[in-house]
């Protein structure tokens, strides 16, 4: 029996979901959309811009059947959020055998190719009877590719702020394309999005990128602003580029989605692959962003330094500011890892200074108990206080991100003033701002491996003809995720989750919930 699903637009796109007697469901579309799912359910193919409008039951021959049967199996809430494929708008694209078939490295691998039936569940903690929920396509090499290696002209661009591991991702895209697929035509776009139309390109090959993973930053340079979709896609077309690898954060991924939409509008055979980058770990859906682990590790050095300083003096108060515009992940994890931190302040958890349960009271208590204390502060915390006190107009960077005021300096001053003027108590303040030092280091061993997997997943996805997708781990397995899913929300620390409770339990800091002045 069949469950067929009509898609509203464009009219030539029509998928059907077929359910076999073994209760598997498949998309009636040539590879790569041809998908077999075990156990049935409500399946939605959510393909950017095309919403399913009608679910209809039919048998293998596609003739409508009694829907009661299908409906009975329709209730376990399986949702499949697929990524777009070039054949959506170029249905006649030829396919070729994947060169990995002949790779020595993969000679004894049991399953070289990922089954088109493999999906990853977004939610893995479930209860009996709960809906199966959202699933993403599993990343990895496919049996057929949609590009002849000698016809690939790839490019790589890096945008937004720095993050440890960018060079590793660049390296592994270049080496992955070259070693696994025999692609040798790879361009580096310099200086972020605007580099497409305002700069020359750089030839990339395994030799050029050989040791770049040992360096921080990005060999391609980066920038904010300058995203002009038409100019970028004109340039992609003019240069004959057919694979675009875009490394960047939420803003960059929105830009990648716009590029894909234009590529699709012009019906260009161009694979657009996004690799999510942000030191703040604020990208939704994926487990963790690359460079985050390195940042947490590097932050330990600053926290240690602050601790050494303040325990060596009387009434020492150390403040360490870490990155985290809207999300306090680095601060939270660095605090949990260190155990030398007395208080962690993040944007998600408002705090206050004065009165019962406030920060001043806590500082005084810790100084009395231990003679010193360390505060870790995410840069986005307490911004409302800083802007009130400095009365500065709101400024934005070239990408439209709000420019943050220095909460570290502000807090340092507030604590100093309070203890010297109100409490008549001399304190030794040490303020450390290691933010750019942390962002600029090369990635650690863990992140290097993670960056390699991201790069290889992106290469496999592009070669397999997917376009307009982001790669990333979902519950430890790499997936192809619709770009919109990673840009529609920001990943923030959930105060109601256990991790924040673990932090509170480890620091014993105030929870700043009840304000009594």
Ligand X SMILES: O=P(O)(O)OC[C@H]1O[C@](O)(COP(=O)(O)O)[C@@H](O)[C@@H]1O
Output the known binding site.
161, 224-225, 249-252, 278-280, 323-325, 379, 436-439
Q: 325 is in the binding site of which of ligand ADP, Mg ion, ligand X, none (Cβ under 5 to 8 A by kind)? A: ligand X
Q: Minimum CB separation from ligand X for residue 190, in Å?
A: 17
User: Position of tokens 């960018």?
Assistant: 166
Q: Of 108-116, 323-331, 356-364, 457-465, which segment contacts ligand X by CB under 6 A? A: 323-331
Q: 225 is in the binding site of which of Mg ion, ligand X, ligand ADP, none (Cβ under 5 to 8 A by kind)? A: ligand ADP
Assess 380 for contact with Mg ion (CB under 5 A). Answer: no
Q: 89 is in the binding site of which of ligand X, ligand ADP, Mg ion, none (Cβ under 5 to 8 A by kind)? A: none
**Which residues, listed in sequence order, are joined to residue 431 by a DSSP beta bridge?**
319
Q: Minimum CB separation from ligand X for residue 447, in Å?
A: 15
Q: Minimum CB separation from ligand X for residue 437, in Å?
A: 12
Assess 249 for contact with Mg ion (CB under 5 A). Answer: yes
Annotated binding site for ATP: 161, 224-225, 249-252
Q: 316 is in the binding site of which of Mg ion, ligand X, ligand ADP, none (Cβ under 5 to 8 A by kind)? A: none
Terminal-residue alpha carbon distance, the chain: 68
Alpha carbon dihedral 161, 203, 151, 233, in 10-degree steps, equals 40
Annotated binding site for Mg(2+): 250
Q: Minimum CB separation from ligand ADP for residue 31, in Å?
A: 31
Q: Please tell me the distance from the alpha carbon of residue 451 to that of residue 223, in angstroms, as a whole number.
A: 21
Footprint on this chain of ligand ADP (rule: CB under 6 A): 159-161, 192-193, 224-227, 248-252, 254-255, 258, 278, 399, 401
Which of 279, 363, 481, 503 forms a contact with ligand X (CB under 6 A)?
Answer: 279
- Is-contact 325 380, C-beta < 8 A? yes
Q: Please tell me the distance from the alpha carbon of residue 174 to that of residue 503, in angstroms, as a whole number.
A: 40
CA distances in angstroms from 233 to 185, 324, 361, 485, listed in the order given: 19, 32, 57, 23
**Which residues, listed in sequence order, are joined to residue 186 by a DSSP beta bridge?**
154, 204
DSSP letters for 68-88: HHHHHTTTS-EEEEPPPBGGG
Q: Minimum CB separation from ligand ADP for residue 271, in Å?
A: 19
Check 2, 280, 340, 342 and give the catalytic one: 280
Assess 323 for contact with ligand X (CB under 6 A). Answer: yes
Q: Please tell me the distance from the alpha carbon of residue 219 to that of residue 269, in angstroms, as a whole number.
A: 28
Assess 249 for contact with ligand X (CB under 6 A). Answer: yes
DSSP letters for 429-446: EEEE--HHHHHTSPP-HH
Nearest CA among 324, 334, 375, 329 for reference residue 353: 375
Q: Please tell me the distance from the alpha carbon of residue 416 to that of residue 427, in angstroms, as a whole number.
A: 7
Assess 348 for contact with Mg ion (CB under 5 A). Answer: no
Examine the residue annotation and report whether 280 is marked as an active-site residue of this protein. Answer: yes
Assess 404 for contact with ligand X (CB under 6 A). Answer: yes
Q: Of 208-216, 321-329, 337-345, 352-360, which segment contacts ligand X by CB under 6 A? A: 321-329
Which of 161, 318, 328, 472 forms a contact with ligand X (CB under 6 A)?
Answer: 161
- Is-contact 376 320, C-beta < 8 A? yes
Please say which residue, 147 or 245, places its beta carbon nearer to ligand ADP.
245
Q: 379 is in the binding site of which of Mg ion, ligand X, ligand ADP, none (Cβ under 5 to 8 A by kind)? A: ligand X
Which of 28, 142, 307, 325 forms a contact with ligand X (CB under 6 A)?
Answer: 325
- Is-contact 201 187, C-beta < 8 A? yes
Assess 160 for contact with ligand X (CB under 6 A). Answer: yes
Q: Please tell me the distance from the alpha carbon of residue 439 to that of residue 507, in angstroms, as a whole number.
A: 26
What number of chain residues touch ligand X (CB under 6 A)?
13
Which of 379, 386, 410, 430 forms a contact with ligand X (CB under 6 A)?
Answer: 379
CB burial of 244-268 (b: ≥16 within 10 Å; e: otherwise) equals bbbbbbbbbbbbbbbbbbbbbeeeb
Catalytic residues: 280
Residues that bind Mg ion in the complex, under the rule CB under 5 A? 249-251
């Amino acid at each position: 029996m069949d469950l067929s699903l009509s898609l509203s637009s464009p009219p030539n796109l029509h998928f059907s979901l077929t359910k076999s007697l073994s209760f598997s469901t498949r998309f009636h579309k040539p590879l790569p959309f041809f998908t077999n799912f075990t156990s049935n359910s409500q399946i939605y193919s959510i393909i950017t811009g095309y919403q399913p409008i009608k679910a209809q039951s039919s048998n293998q021959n596609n003739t409508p059947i009694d829907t009661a049967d299908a409906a009975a199996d329709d209730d376990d809430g399986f949702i499949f959020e697929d990524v777009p494929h070039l054949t959506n708008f170029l249905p006649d694209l030829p396919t070729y055998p994947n060169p990995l078939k002949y790779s020595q490295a993969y000679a004894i691998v049991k399953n070289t190719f990922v089954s088109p039936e493999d999906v990853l569940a977004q939610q893995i903690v479930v209860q009996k009877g709960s809906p199966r929920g959202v699933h993403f396509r599993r990343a990895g090499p496919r049996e057929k590719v949609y590009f002849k290696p000698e016809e690939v002209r790839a490019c790589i661009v890096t945008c937004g702020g720095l993050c440890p591991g960018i060079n590793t991702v660049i390296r592994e895209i270049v080496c992955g394309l070259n070693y696994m697929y025999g692609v040798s035509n790879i361009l580096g776009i310099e200086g972020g999005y605007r580099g497409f139309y305002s700069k020359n390109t750089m030839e990339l090959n395994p030799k050029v990128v050989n040791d770049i993973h040992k360096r921080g930053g990005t060999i391609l340079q980066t920038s904010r602003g300058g995203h002009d979709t038409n100019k970028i896609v004109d340039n992609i077309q003019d240069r004959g580029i057919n694979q675009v690898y875009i490394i960047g954060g939420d803003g960059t991924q929105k830009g990648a989605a716009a590029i894909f939409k234009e590529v699709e509008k012009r019906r260009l055979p161009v694979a657009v692959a996004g690799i999510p980058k942000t030191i703040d770990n604020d990208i939704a859906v994926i487990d963790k962003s690359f460079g985050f682990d390195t940042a947490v590790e590097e932050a330990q050095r600053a926290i240690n330094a602050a601790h050494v300083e303040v325990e060596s003096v009387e009434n020492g108060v150390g403040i360490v500011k870490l990155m985290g515009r809207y999300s306090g992940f680095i601060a939270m994890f660095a605090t949990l890892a260190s155990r030398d931190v007395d208080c962690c302040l993040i944007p998600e958890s408002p705090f206050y200074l004065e009165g019962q349960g406030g920060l001043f009271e806590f500082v005084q208590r810790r100084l009395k108990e231990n003679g010193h204390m360390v505060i870790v502060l995410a840069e986005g915390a307490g911004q409302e206080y800083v802007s009130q006190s400095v009365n500065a107009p709101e400024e934005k960077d070239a990408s439209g991100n709000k420019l943050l005021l220095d909460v570290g300096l502000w807090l340092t001053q507030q604590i100093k003033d309070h203890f010297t003027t109100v409490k008549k108590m001399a304190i030794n303040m040490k303020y450390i701002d290691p933010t750019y030092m942390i962002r600029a280091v090369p990635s650690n061993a863990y992140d290097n491996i993670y960056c390699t997997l991201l790069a290889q997943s992106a290469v496999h996805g592009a070669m397999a003809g997917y376009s307009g997708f982001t790669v990333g781990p979902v519950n430890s397995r790499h997936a192809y995720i619709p770009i919109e899913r990673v840009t529609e929300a920001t990943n923030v620390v959930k105060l109601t989750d256990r991790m924040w409770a673990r932090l509170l339990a480890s620091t014993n800091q105030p929870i700043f919930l009840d304000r009594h002045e």
